Amino acid sequence: MTTAHRPPTLNDVALAAGVSRATASRVIAGTGYASPDARDRVNAAAGRLGYVPNLTARALVRGTGVRLVVAVSGAGPAVLDDPYVDRVVGAAARVCAPYGLGVALHWLPRRDPSGLRRLAEDRSVGGVVLVNTTQAVLRAVPAALRGRVASIGIGSALVPTFDVDNGGGTKAVVRHLYATGRRRIAMVTGPRWLSCAGRSVGAYRRVVRDAGLPVRLVRGDFSARLGRAAAREVLRRWPDTDAIVGISDATALGLIDGLRGDGVQVPGDVAVTGFDDIPLAAMTTPALTTATHPVGQIATAAATAVLAGRPVPPATVFPSRLVRRLSA
Partner DNA sequence: CTGAAAGCGCTAACAG
Partner DNA sequence: CTGTTAGCGCTTTCAG
What is the contact surface with DNA in residues (CB under 7 A)?
Answer: 6, 9-11, 19-23, 25-26, 28-29, 31-35, 37-38, 53-54, 57-58, 60-63, 123
Which of 12, 43, 106, 229 is close enough to bind a second copy by CB under 8 A? 106
Which of 10, 24, 28, 103 is close enough to bind a second copy by CB under 8 A? 103
Indicate the residue among 308 and 315 with the shorter CB distance to a second copy. Answer: 308
Q: Which long-range contacts (CB under 8 A, 24 or more apart) does 90-94 make?
A: 90/296, 90/299, 91/295, 91/296, 91/299, 91/300, 91/303, 92/68, 92/129, 92/299, 92/300, 92/302, 92/303, 94/300
Which of 11, 20, 54, 135 is close enough to bind a second copy by CB under 8 A? 54
φ, ψ of residue 97 in degrees (nearest 5): -45, -55
Instruction: Confirm if 106 and 45 have CB atoms less than 8 A apart.
Output: no
If we measure between CA atoms, which residue out of 168, 167, 140 comes closest to residue 151? Answer: 140
Which of 29, 44, 57, 211 is close enough to bind a second copy by CB under 8 A? 57
93 binds a second copy (CB under 8 A): yes
Indicate the residue among 62 and 139 with the shorter CB distance to DNA. Answer: 62
Indicate the residue among 11 and 135 with the shorter CB distance to DNA. Answer: 11
Beta strands in 160-258 (DSSP E): 161-164, 185-189, 216-219, 243-246
285 binds a second copy (CB under 8 A): yes
Provide the minimum distance between the beta carbon of 167 and a second copy in the complex, in angstroms, as a whole number.
26
94 binds a second copy (CB under 8 A): yes
Q: How far apart are CA 321 and CA 110, in angstroms?
A: 31
Q: How far apart are CA 328 and CA 320, in angstroms?
A: 17
Which of 30, 50, 263, 268 is close enough to bind a second copy by CB under 8 A? 50
60 binds a second copy (CB under 8 A): yes
Question: How far is Cα of residue 56 from the mean position of the Cα atoms in its chain?
Answer: 27
Count interface residues toward a second copy (CB under 8 A).
Answer: 60
DSSP-assigned states of every residue in 60-118 = HHHT--SEEEEEEEESSGGGGG-HHHHHHHHHHHHHHGGGT-EEEEEEEETT-TTHHHH
Indicate the residue among 3 and 31 with the shorter CB distance to DNA. Answer: 31
Q: How far apart are CA 116 and CA 138, in angstroms?
A: 10
Which of 25, 284, 289, 292 is close enough to bind a second copy by CB under 8 A? 284
Instruction: Confirm if 299 and 88 have CB atoms less than 8 A apart.
Output: yes
Out of a second copy, DNA, none, what residue 40 binds, judged by CB under 5 to 8 A for its kind, is none
What 3-state class would DSSP assign to 152? strand
If we measure between CA atoms, which residue out of 179, 163, 168 comes closest to residue 302? Answer: 163
213 binds a second copy (CB under 8 A): no
Provide the minimum distance between the beta carbon of 7 and DNA in the complex, in angstroms, as a whole number.
7
Q: How far apart are CA 119 and CA 101, in angstroms?
A: 16
253 binds a second copy (CB under 8 A): yes
113 binds a second copy (CB under 8 A): no
117 binds a second copy (CB under 8 A): yes
Instruction: Confirm if 313 and 162 have CB atoms less than 8 A apart.
Output: no
* Interacting residues with a second copy (CB under 8 A): 2, 5, 7-8, 50, 52, 54-57, 59-60, 65-68, 70, 80-81, 83, 85-87, 89-90, 93-94, 96-97, 100-106, 117-118, 121-124, 143-144, 224, 228, 250, 253-254, 256-257, 260, 279-280, 282-285, 287, 296
